[in-house]
Structure 1
Amino acid sequence: MSIEVGSKLQGKVTGITHFGAFVELSEGTTGLVHISEVADNYVKDIREHLQVGDQVEVKVINIEKDGKIGLSIKKAKDSYRPPRKRQERPNNRPNTENFEQKMSRFLKDSEDRLASLKRNTESKRGGRGARRG
């Protein structure tokens, strides 16, 4: 069976690193499952999900010109759906504001953030902008 992008294959985990797992495929070829392609949620330690010797189903997501094979365990699952884009509305506000209202809200938020930033940086410098003389 030839290895092509998009194909699902069975493989055996042969090595684990901090950035992913090496999986041996058919015909002695090896590919890498990056740590971000192991599970749908955040993976801090890959050893919590995989061990050397585990049989896994992987999907080929890319093949580099130099022969490196990129694999994914989470995309091999039938239930995988790509993440949806978030809506651009902050705080789920209805989009009924006119331009002037949006600008005044933006200016108020900006002034609040600048005041907070100024307050935090002044306290770290030793007070109210002490001058060296």
Structure 2
Amino acid sequence: MDKFMSMRIFSRVVEAGSFSVVAEHMSCSKGNVSRAVLSLEDQLQARLLQRTTRRVSLTEPGKRYYQKCKRVLADLDDAEAEARDAHTRARKTLRSLRNRSRPRTVDALDHRISQAFSCRFSAS
């Protein structure tokens, strides 16, 4: 699982306060959610969440990491939305230009070719 997905899962666990709720929301197993958080904790060599049978709470390093995760994930979402919008705008612009200018250009070129052809061959 990639790091961004693990960060997203961690953030959702913090917000929901439950591994089960996140697993259900993401249509995956509770084990997958738990493994994603454990993977982050292993990479960071820090315990992010305090788990009991009844609740999940943030540790001190977990609080700091959660705040940074929220910013990073928000920036990632913004960057993806910008890229998607730029691509959509570019396609719309091209489509618009093609629909507006191509017929006129093709018609004008077609007309010039017809005139040149008729002038050349009608005089003989």
Shorter-normalised TM range: under 0.3
Give the TM-score, by structure 1 length.
0.25
TM-score (norm 2): 0.26
